[in-house]
Amino acid sequence: MVEHREIYWVFAKDLDDTGSEQQKNRPYVIVSRNAINQLGFNVVGVPLSTKIHKANSHRILIPAGHMIKDLACARIMSDSVALTDHIRVLDHTRFEQPKMGKMSDTAMGGIELGLAFLFDIR
């Protein structure tokens, strides 16, 4: 099962992207809660970018040290920015296996604050 906080490499093939939406393969952190993730194939994720200059009040800088790499993952973890304004529903059949890893509690808290700011949740 795909779980909250996990990081997966997502293949963008056939995503219906236009304009400034994220259009390439990239890591996503799962932000939907586990009770929802267990219901089916769809989960909600936030894409990560290595262009750290994009960080701002709702695009959250995540140092590589706050990403806990899975031992089976061959990909490199880099300082990243969680693009909370590019949140999307994902079919987990697009995910490369194994997972890349998971976010630390601190990093996930930052992403959640970014989402709260984005959606004006108080």
> What is residue 21's predicted lDDT score, i.e. its pLDDT?
53
What does the alpha-carbon distance between residue 84 and residue 114 come to, in Å, rounded to a whole number? 7
> What is residue 92's predicted lDDT score, i.e. its pLDDT?
87
Q: Work out the mean pLDDT of the chain and round it to a whole number.
A: 92
Residue 108, token pair as written in the block: 């996930």
Average pLDDT over residues 70-85: 96
Which helix (H) or strand (E) is 36 found in, with range?
Answer: helix 34-37
DSSP string, 76-107: PP--EEEEGGG-EEEEGGGB-SS--EEE-HHH
**pLDDT of 92-116, one tens digit each?**
889 999 999 999 999 999 999 999 9
CATH number at residue 87: 2.30.30.110
Cβ–Cβ < 8 Å for 16, 38: no
Residue 1 within any structural domain of the chain: no
- For residue 63, whether the previous peptide bond is cis, meaning omega lies within 30 degrees of 0, is no
Enter the pTM of the model.
0.91
Residue 52 within any structural domain of the chain: yes
Average pLDDT over residues 77-82: 98
More confident residue, 58 or 12: 58
Total number of domains in the chain? 1
Does residue 24 carry a pLDDT above 90?
Answer: no
Domain that holds residue 31: 6-118
What does the alpha-carbon distance between residue 67 and residue 90 come to, in Å, rounded to a whole number? 21
